[in-house]
Chain A
């Protein structure tokens, strides 16, 4: 269960998709890092995560952790975004049978779970199908 400060610290990434990028070799990181894990440079600048990508692999979670009990079954996948960053998230707004490796997706801001009756509502990004014109 995230405490308010633990939740609050991650808001730039979860609400605004803030990443960073190595000024030396150009590798992008999400979440941001203090040192480039490709070239060891400590010169990184703020960048924004690409919001479109494609599904690399996926699964349907049928036995969930307790905060997700009311959502199961649900799909989770890894997508590679157009800037090469890969990230994990739920895949929503489509049937399980429509999910395919290579499926184009975009990031949308959604509720992820809630911490019981008096806890905080936890938001972030999910993957939704991206059709050609969206």
Chain B
């Protein structure tokens, strides 16, 4: 396998982009990544998208986007594993370059979510759960994570305030990210007084509905050096699944797919949790960030809430988590999220993020999760 590096990244402002179509959002973002990498052609592309069909009525988007990016006839592949689609698209691009099949690959993620109303968006997101045995009974995505939150609070004594602190921390970081959908701070009181969605989770515990895309260009590390690019190497990659229905798992508070994907990525990289300088995780709901930190071995089982309270994961903490603002503040266009996490980590390792820069960051990690944890993709990066 060849060593592979990220040589360019692209991201545009996220939000409710009424005036922009799926193809426009993607092409604008992909062109930024190609410009950053200094390339005007690619050998292949992968696009993560959870449900362009339900959100916009458009399938077959890999070809559509290759066409509008002016890259036909390159092979283009759409990848779907719910909210982990972007992370998995990146992993497949990595495999294509590492294998020698292609040299320059564009990896993107996109979701255009505001072309449908709130009920339809709730339905589309709900299709990531077991439709016959979860969705049928009226459970929603916030509802599934609320079930996890309640169980975590009962089992480990995690408090309602600790959940709120995840949102407060991520909004504090996101306020420093001009591309974030909600670049402003919130207080614990704001979170605790916001509208209840699914007890105990309130609206400020939830990531929003977002239009947006993210893109990265990868190539062999040797080629990156020849091009004189700052080399951010991909040193670890892991992907794992878990039972899709929350109720069929042994312990609803434990994210086994995240544990397994993390383990594979750590082994491949030859690194451990204590060697990670900066981390982007899938905080689709506040409780998710707490459970992910436990499953990745950053903290002990049950200690995720306390770690946030003690500031371990704040920008100034020992291991800053979601410096970008996370899904919570930056936004969560589901198929784009996994790639946007990689964009943030690459920019962190290149020292390009201004006010939210983590000092001396050399090794970074991303964790991107589908559904209520039924799939997870983890990557580890190192700046040479």
Contact = CB atoms under 8 A, between A and B. Distances in A.
Interface of A: 10, 31, 37, 56-69, 71, 74, 76-78, 86-90, 96, 101, 112-113, 122, 124
B18 interface: no
A57 B142 CA distance: 14
A101 B138 contact: no
A25 to B, nearest CB: 15
A122 B136 contact: yes
A4 to B, nearest CB: 15
Given A63-B198, A76-B147, A96-B199, 17 more contacts: A56-B252, A59-B198, A60-B198, A60-B199, A61-B140, A61-B198, A63-B122, A63-B140, A64-B122, A65-B123, A66-B123, A74-B138, A78-B246, A78-B252, A87-B133, A88-B139, A112-B137
Given A68-B138, A124-B136, A59 B247 contact: no
B198 A87 contact: no
Q: How large is the interface on B (under 10, 10 to 19, 20 to 34, 35 or more residues)?
A: 35 or more
B147 A59 contact: yes
B196 interface: yes
B137 A86 contact: no
Contacts of B197: 62-63
Judged by DSSP, the binding face of B is helix
B252 A57 contact: yes
Contacts of A101: 150-151, 154
A88 B136 CA distance: 9
Contact of A89 (B137, B148, B195, B196): B137
A59 B132 contact: no
Given A63-B198, A65-B138, A78 B243 contact: no
B340 interface: no
B187 to A, nearest CB: 22
Contacts of B148: 57
B351 interface: no
A112 B246 CA distance: 20
A89 B134 CA distance: 7
